[in-house]
């Protein structure tokens, strides 16, 4: 599309422009406080990384260079040999998830599977999934808690796993001042971790609390690093950027099921391509009464819940 990388300042599309704008409007002190994790991030940013273009503007050769650099950095910082793919949407697919809430018992195996699959920080047990213990009779996720422990399921409760809903009208995308996050053709909302400035607007805008911020450099022991990675997905994220569930696009765009689904011992999770009229998802939508969370907000999630 774009022939040659031009000076990024010409459009209000660059993080450098936004950073400058931020200084001008907020005042230096307030801005520095607001983006304090960014200072740490900036200090370990290589010159090459700082000069990198937005993902969607990279030519194939530039992408290959960036990916080679990231693989080398992972080797250097984490001691792990990884391959970072550039998985693009499969034409004719739109990914949708559904969860059977009559079956989910809140055991949290999906939460752990996500943690491992997506190379999350070990010390904070980070994961893109939260399982809420809900009182019977409501679908208002704000009434749920995640602090339950012990044997599940408990009487009078049901369990609501919440992760990014890959909204068709994603408020998180609208608020990003530098377009570091966007929705792709198969419905997955992605983040260019090298473009994100860590302002956390998107985290605040997401009604499902689905975004996570890297407060510190993720710690992952070399032997635990999942080496099957993708640029827009589970490669180890830098400190000071926001991340989120990508429906495991490094797996699902290669035809595989997401890690959380494979880990679910109760079979509550269903994943598939809604454009395929023979898919599991289509059958569920046609035969079960499905719910979506916070429907009134008009975010149009690609994530459904049902009871049977």
Interface residue list for other proteins (CB under 8 A): 90, 98, 100, 103, 105-109, 111-112, 115, 124-127, 130, 145-153, 209, 212, 215, 252, 254-257, 261-262, 264-267, 270-273, 276, 278, 280, 283-284, 287-288, 308
Distance CA 22, CA 28 (A): 8
Nearer Cβ to other proteins (130/294): 130
CB of 281 to other proteins, least distance (A): 8
Instruction: Restricting to residues 181-210, name those near ligand SF4 by CB under 6 A.
Output: 181, 189, 191, 196-202, 206, 208, 210
CA dihedral 211, 162, 99, 143 (to 10 degrees): -150
Distance CA 256, CA 250 (A): 9
CB of 44 to other proteins, least distance (A): 18
Nearer Cβ to ligand SF4 (49/283): 49
Instruction: Compute the Cα dihedral for 241, 245, 251, 252 and give only its sign.
Output: negative
Contact (CB, 8 A) for 296 and 161 = no
Instruction: Restricting to residues 115-174, name those near ligand SF4 by CB under 6 A.
Output: 164-167, 170-172
Of 267, 201, 234, which Cα lies nearest the Cα of 119?
A: 234
Of 65, 58, 42, 44, which Cα lies nearest the Cα of 8?
A: 58
Distance CA 104, CA 284 (A): 16
Nearer Cβ to other proteins (58/268): 268
Strand order in the sheet with 303-306: 269-273, 95-100, 303-306, 290-291
Nearer Cβ to other proteins (54/251): 251
Residue whose entry in the numeric block shows the structure tokens 């989910």 = 104
Out of other proteins, ligand SF4, none, which partner does residue 106 contact, by CB within 5 to 8 A per kind? other proteins
CB of 155 to ligand SF4, least distance (A): 30
Mode of pairing for the β-strands spanning 130-135 and 157-162 = antiparallel
Distance CA 237, CA 41 (A): 11
Nearer Cβ to other proteins (55/201): 201
Out of ligand SF4, other proteins, none, which partner does residue 229 contact, by CB within 5 to 8 A per kind? none
Distance CA 196, CA 240 (A): 9
Instruction: Restricting to residues 272-301, name those near ligand SF4 by CB under 6 A.
Output: 299
CB of 96 to other proteins, least distance (A): 11
Contact (CB, 8 A) for 225 and 236 = yes
Query: DSSP secondary-structure letter at 217?
Result: P
Does 52 sit near ligand SF4 (CB under 6 A)? Answer: no
Q: By rule CB under 6 A, what string of x and - marks binding of each residue 207-246 to ligand SF4?
A: -x-xx------------------------------x-x--
Nearer Cβ to other proteins (137/265): 265
Nearer Cβ to other proteins (56/102): 102
Out of other proteins, ligand SF4, none, which partner does residue 167 contact, by CB within 5 to 8 A per kind? ligand SF4
Query: DSSP secondary-structure letter at 296?
Result: G
- The answer for residues whose C-beta is within 8 angstroms of residue 283's C-beta and 6 or more apart is none
> Which positions touch ligand SF4 (CB under 6 A)?
164-167, 170-172, 175-176, 178, 180-181, 189, 191, 196-202, 206, 208, 210-211, 242, 244, 299
């Amino acid at each position: 599309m774009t022939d040659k990388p031009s000076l990024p300042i010409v459009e209000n599309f660059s993080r450098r422009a936004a950073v400058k704008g931020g200084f001008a409007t907020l005042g230096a002190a307030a801005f520095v406080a607001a983006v304090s994790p960014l200072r740490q991030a900036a200090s370990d940013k290589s010159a090459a990384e700082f000069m990198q273009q937005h993902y969607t503007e990279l030519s194939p050769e530039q992408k290959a260079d960036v990916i080679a650099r990231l693989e080398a950095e992972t080797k250097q910082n984490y001691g792990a040999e990884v391959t970072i793919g550039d998985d693009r949407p499969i034409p004719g697919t739109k990914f949708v998830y559904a969860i059977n809430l009559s079956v989910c018992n809140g055991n949290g195996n999906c939460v752990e599977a996500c943690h491992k699959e997506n190379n999350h920080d070990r010390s904070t047990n980070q994961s893109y999934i939260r399982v809420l213990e809900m009182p019977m009779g409501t679908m208002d996720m704000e009434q749920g808690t995640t602090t339950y422990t012990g044997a599940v399921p408990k009487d009078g409760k049901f369990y609501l796993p919440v992760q990014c809903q890959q909204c068709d009208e994603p408020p998180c995308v609208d608020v990003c001042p530098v377009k570091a996050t966007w929705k792709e053709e198969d419905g997955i909302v992605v983040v260019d971790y090298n473009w994100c400035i860590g302002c956390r607007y998107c985290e605040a805008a997401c009604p499902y609390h689905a975004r996570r911020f890297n407060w510190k450099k993720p710690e992952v022991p070399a032997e635990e690093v999942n080496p099957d990675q993708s640029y827009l997905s589970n490669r180890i994220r830098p400190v000071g950027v926001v991340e989120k569930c990508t429906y495991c696009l490094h797996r699902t765009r290669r035809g595989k099921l997401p890690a959380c689904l494979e880990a679910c011992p109760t079979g509550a999770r269903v994943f598939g391509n809604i454009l395929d009229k023979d898919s599991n998802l289509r059958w569920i939508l046609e035969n079960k009464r499905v719910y979506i969370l916070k429907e009134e907000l008009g975010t149009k999630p690609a994530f459904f819940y049902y009871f049977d």
